[in-house]
Amino acid sequence: MAQLDPVRVDQSDGMASPDIEVIQGLRIFAVERDGLEVRVDVYGGPDSVCGSLTYRFADKPTADDRARLLTDWCKRGNAVTYVCRDGSASLMDEQAVLSEALEP
| Largest interatomic CA distance in the chain | 41
Contact criterion met (CB below 8 Å) for 79 and 96: no
Confidence band, pLDDT 50/70/90 cuts, at residue 94: confident
Whole-structure pTM value: 0.75
The arithmetic mean of pLDDT across residues 75-95, rounded, is: 90
Q: Given its phi and psi angles, is residue 63 left (phi above 0), alpha (psi -120 to 50 degrees) or beta?
A: alpha
User: At residue 72, does pLDDT exceed 70?
Assistant: yes
Domain limits of the chain? 3-92
Give the DSSP H/E element, type plus range, for residue 31: strand 20-34
